[in-house]
Structure 1
């Protein structure tokens, strides 16, 4: 069977130990998929794998609000980021929520019939674009904002990692695009998806499995208030931020300035601001941030040296991906979330 991985060969899940093994255990229990490639691809850097899972778990899975709405938000994010793997996954997971008509409606490219659900989908799509009018007012209760915002930001990160380091095929031969396969796949996950686990278990991976992320990451942004989403987000920010050490000062400045000026658009093929392969680290980081699906073998080869391992590539991609997340998060209108009681 062809490998789903591009540019890296992750460690075999069967050999996992410590925090990586703990993530796989939680994935099986709370997500229903033990060896999800989305997280396997991060496993060479346990702190990134664990914090990415923690953010997804504490927002999408254990956060406030119904799973259907948050899956719609994640679908909108994935569509906006042009991540076919994740788009197909969320369509299948909508089947798992039990809303089969909705799942098939969006699979056909139609809008949800329910106006509130349509607004959630539009909100998810709009989160890529700073200042988009669809971002306000929230299409969900303000009290649910930490979970919805956390879900959106989790998938802005995950989409970029997936597009950079996985193929587009969720299942071999893209069979998930057949209705029967989508439905069957979703139904196989329904018991897990319809359960609502208690918040906090994702944080135990960061606090008690050999990862000291919570010691210095802080409580997280204001929009997360006193929820477990906040520390999970802060942990991922801290873990992904370590990748900046792979760039020199000039490259870090270029990444920051480019992201600061970004308007949410997908870069054109003739992207004048993209460095050449003579600055391979900055090129990879910016591609991971803004157009991860355009990373090629040649881009990776230009950056590789004997000491730049698969783990180093994961760190660099995660750094670029979170640079985009940070830009998106900084532009979100969160006043209502802060004021919600």
Structure 2
């Protein structure tokens, strides 16, 4: 039986207990989709599932500002990362906000007619480039945590999905038909237009550590810190010399999409773990079964694979976030 998952077989959602079950319950209520593959794929590592959901919820769903505007940022990020699954998902979610004409214009690859919408989409795209000039922000500065949190959430989610989930949002790719996109969006409209209470996901998390300064006192901050902590655990799957290689490569990354022949990707026979992590960071859609098989050993469970991919994915998020945080305080305050 075919599944939407690549290289792993996550636990059946119906068998979930504890915080995983509570996360699925929140997902169904606040996201409007019952057990979406974007999050089920992380359930082999529950600490990643809860943190990724918390960041998504507190920024995209419960964050300050317009849901349409945050969907445009998430769509811009997904376009920049070349994640067709997520591009289709955010197009459907724009239908859910009621912005049907905008959703279809974007589905055709056209620029939004509304200039404010166009700036938001472009801003989302530019966040892929570490150190890119992101100001002036196309949203009120007071809403910065929600918009940055949305961008960082989907830089992570895009990479997880591109690495470990198939490209089709719906079976047989039927989301490519306008009527299906519209109908799917309308089925989510009541949930998407309902106001979500900020902070409800934080009860799912352990003490996450220090929140980033850009998040202020928003619940986006603890959610981001929890994801950073959970994803970084995957570094323990690599020896120190390979972790150093990942750090050096990300430090020099300019936001481009390197080809498989690029020196950034070590040979899978020599450093398969570092190769997987760097592919997850820079070009997750290029991960193959051969890459996974070269790294995987009998002791490497699905939990390990998901954590290694998450480590690479968050290494890219961390590079982008650190470049932003390194700018003068008056520019990011």
Q: TM-score range by the shorter chain?
A: over 0.9
Shift of 1:274: 1.0
Q: Deviations over 1:226-250 (max 9, x none)?
A: 0000000000000000000000000
Which of the residues 265, 270, 291 maps onto 2:283? Answer: 291
Q: Deviations over 1:121-174 (max 9, x none)?
A: 0000000012333x1110000011100000000000000000000000101111
Distance 2:303 2:176 in 1: 32
Indicate the residue corresponding to 1:97 in structure 2.
Answer: 97
Indicate the residue corresponding to 1:81 in structure 2.
Answer: 81
| 1:166-315 pair list within 5 angstroms | 166-206=165-205, 212=206, 214=207, 217-277=208-268, 278-315=270-307
Distance 1:175 1:227 in 2: 38
Distance 1:131 1:330 in 2: 9
Query: Any conservation in 1 of the 2:131–2:320 contact (CA below 8 Å)?
Result: no
Distance 1:273 1:107 in 2: 33
Distance 1:65 1:331 in 2: 25
Shift of 1:334: 7.9
Asked if residue 9 in structure 1 is aligned to residue 12 in structure 2, the reply is no
Indicate the residue corresponding to 1:209 in structure 2.
Answer: none
Shift of 1:65: 0.7
Query: Any conservation in 1 of the 2:32–2:191 contact (CA below 8 Å)?
Result: yes
Q: Deviations over 1:261-305 (max 9, x none)?
A: 000000023212211112111000000000000100000001111
Aligned pair in 2 of structure 1 residues 235, 306: CA closer, same or farther (>3 Å)?
Answer: same
| 1:92-171 pair list within 5 angstroms | 92-133=92-133, 135-171=134-170
Query: Any conservation in 1 of the 2:257–2:282 contact (CA below 8 Å)?
Result: yes
Distance 1:239 1:268 in 2: 29
Indicate the residue corresponding to 1:66 in structure 2.
Answer: 66
Specify every segment of 5 or more residues in structure 1 that has no aligned partner in the other structure, as ranges: 207-211
Query: Any conservation in 2 of the 1:45–1:311 contact (CA below 8 Å)?
Result: yes
Q: Deviations over 1:60-80 (max 9, x none)?
A: 000101100000000000000
Query: Any conservation in 1 of the 2:156–2:314 contact (CA below 8 Å)?
Result: yes
The alignment of Structure 1 onto Structure 2 pairs a total of residues equal to 330
Q: Deviations over 1:15-51 (max 9, x none)?
A: 0001110110000110001210000000011100000
Query: Any conservation in 1 of the 2:159–2:281 contact (CA below 8 Å)?
Result: yes
Distance 2:198 2:168 in 1: 31
Query: Any conservation in 1 of the 2:56–2:153 contact (CA below 8 Å)?
Result: yes
Query: Any conservation in 2 of the 1:20–1:46 contact (CA below 8 Å)?
Result: yes
Shift of 1:338: 5.0
Which of the residues 297, 301, 314 maps onto 1:322? Answer: 314
Distance 2:131 2:163 in 1: 26
Distance 1:205 1:289 in 2: 26
Distance 1:80 1:69 in 2: 17
Specify every segment of 5 or more residues in structure 2 that has no aligned partner in the other structure, as ranges: none
Distance 1:196 1:86 in 2: 23
Scaled by the length of structure 1, the TM-score of the pair is: 0.95
Aligned pair in 2 of structure 1 residues 18, 337: CA closer, same or farther (>3 Å)?
Answer: farther
Shift of 1:2: 2.4
Describe the SS at the equivalent of 1:5: coil
Shift of 1:330: 1.1
Distance 1:243 1:6 in 2: 19
Describe the SS at the equivalent of 1:160: helix
Shift of 1:337: 7.6
